[in-house]
Amino acid sequence: MRAGAVTVGAVHGSALVLTVAGFASTLWYGVDEPGHALAFGVLIALGELARWEAPPALGEPSGRETAPIATAGALAYALLGESAGRTTTHGVLQIIAVVVAGGLAGTVPHIARGKGPGLDHLARRILTVAFAALCFQPLYNSGELTQYLGQGPSYALYLLLLLVLTALCDAVLGALLLRARAFPRGAPRHTAGGTSGEVGGSTPLPYGPLLRDELRALVGIGSAVCATGTVMALGVAAAGLWALPVFCVPLLLTQVSFRRYAAVRTTNRQTIASLARATEIAGYTAPGHAHRVAALSAAVGRELGLSGAELTVLEYAALMHDIGQLSLVDPVPEGATALLPAEEQRRIALLGGAVVRQTGVPAAVAVVVERQADPYREQPLPARIVRTVNAYDELAGDSAGGALTALERLRLATARDHQPKVVESLARVLARGGVTPVPPG
């Protein structure tokens, strides 16, 4: 906890120092080119008004805060060297002041509705914009940048590469803050059946998988933000401030498309979650079992470095992994398929895969459901994860020793049923406190 608090305090403190310095310098020396400062400030405020929160991934407490127009506008102002052919004179500290002022103005309506952005979101914006401005403004104002690169394709490529580095800086900060926020608070808890028990010493979240998640998030709308920031800076340099609304339209349309995609994905997840509850309502499985397995499987999948698309397949398969039990005449006691003979587990898995293929989800989900009872050497990695996590949840709720006994039984079955790497990844996730399952939607 202390290490996590130090990290958060360092990031927030650095952002606060830059903010104070920016406002102090701007108030003392005045605003250079107030028209440009006002235009970019208004753009950032409007972009912050359009901010939205992407739906959280399964097992995560909240989604990502996204304000692509505000971010692109802030980065474009940081990389602005000319306007309509005339050299600009604003400096790094004024850029920070304008970005903070515009961001605060745009967050007022959100705060009034009780949905203001988190401090981490604001700190990351300030630090990344300061990084871009520090890398660009001194070089441009000294004349060295245009002397060596001119104003042609090399200059545009430099801006794009600088924005890519800025995005990487933001990803590093995001992973640091997420790791600090998720720093273990003490002994782990068991997520099934209310049983408590320690499964190992408390260890911090590994930084690598968190950074990979942040980098993968850049591939989507993050790349559009970088491209728009570059085009905005070049457009204003050539045509003046009229370029701002023109180049905002494509990014706005991209944001609308992403929001619709997120809404469709949320609807799909709700539909699959409803199907998963069918086994609970019919009395075939214990209440909450599917969501516990799905949340814990997602955490193990991240531990093993699965990508976003693979995590989605894993999540859906984990939610519907027991749906084949609906074909049974006599329910398995407490739905504990891990205690059944291998052939019976295989039959239930095949029946479940046949049902999943009728739901319209990707075929990869049905493959995971069908093969969850195979020997692990014949399974794809998502099927190995689902089988191991499902067995853990059932055994931990059934055994008197709780989590420790369940993990020991899984380790004893690593010759055929459970891959050792998956079992150890599960143990590490549990050592950090497991996850708190939240029903999708």
DSSP string, 296-342: HHHHHHHHTT--HHHHHHHHHHHHTTTGGGGG-SSPPGGG-GGGS-H
Give residue for tokens 């085009």: 231
Are 357 and 426 contained in the same domain?
A: yes
Give a yes or no: residue 174 inside a domain.
yes
Could you tell me if 77 and 125 lie in one domain? yes
Same domain, 182 and 74: yes
pLDDT for res 132: 93
Specify whether the CB–CB gap between 418 and 388 falls below 8 A.
Answer: yes
Do residues 270 and 232 both lie within one domain? no
Residues 229, 287, single domain; the answer is: no
> Domain check: are 274 and 236 in the same one?
no
Tell me: the pLDDT tens digits for 330-375? 666 666 676 677 788 888 888 888 888 887 788 888 899 888 888 8
Distance CA 266, CA 315 (A): 13
Euclidean distance between CA atoms 224 and 212, whole angstroms: 19
On whether both 44 and 191 belong to a single domain, the answer is yes
Length in residues, the chain? 441
Report how many domains make up the chain: 2
Kindly indicate the confidence band of residue 272, based on its pLDDT and cuts at 50, 70 and 90: confident
Domain-located, residue 425: yes
Residue 144 reports pLDDT greater than 70: yes
- Cα 185 to chain centroid, rounded: 22
Asked if pLDDT for residue 234 goes beyond 70, the answer is yes
- Average predicted confidence (pLDDT) for the chain: 81
For residue 434, what pLDDT band results from cuts at 50, 70 and 90? low
Taking a C-beta distance cutoff of 8 angstroms, is the pair 316, 291 a contact? no
Q: What is the mean pLDDT of residues 406-433?
A: 87
**How confident is the model at residue 94, as a pLDDT?**
95
Are 25 and 144 found together in one domain? yes
Task: Examine the fold and report which residue of 208, 241, 274 is the final residue of a domain before the chain moves on.
Answer: 241
* CATH code for the domain in which residue 389 is found: 1.10.3210.10
pLDDT band at 183 (very low <50, low <70, confident <90, very high): low
* DSSP assignments along 164-201, one per residue: HHHHHHHHHHHHHHHHHHT---SS----STT-----S-
pLDDT band of 203, cuts 50, 70, 90: low
Of 293, 391, 370, 386, nearest to 58 (Cα)?
293
Q: 43 and 242 in contact (C-beta within 8 Å)?
A: no
pLDDT band at 184 (very low <50, low <70, confident <90, very high): very low
**What local confidence, expressed as pLDDT, does residue 100 receive?**
94
- Per-residue pLDDT at 420 exceeds 70: yes
432 in Cβ contact with 204 (< 8 Å): yes
Examine the pLDDT at 416 and tell me if it is beyond 80. Answer: yes
Same domain as 278, residue 232: no
Tokens of 170: 């933001």
Encode pLDDT of 306-334 as tens digits: 877 788 889 899 998 888 887 776 666 66
The number of angstroms, rounded, from the C-alpha of 434 to the middle of its chain's C-alpha atoms is: 18
* Neighbouring residues of 267: CB distance < 8 A, sequence distance ≥ 6: none
Q: Are residues 222 and 98 in the same domain?
A: yes
Kindly report the pTM of this predicted structure: 0.76
pLDDT at residue number 214: 81
Amino acid identity, residue 227? Answer: A
Asked if residue 246 is part of any domain, the answer here is: no
Domain range for 334:
266-431
Q: Give the number of C-alpha atoms closer than 13 A to the C-alpha of residue 286, restricted to the C-beta side.
A: 18
Residue 127 lies in a domain: yes
Share of the chain above pLDDT 90, in %: 20
Is residue 260 in some structural domain? no
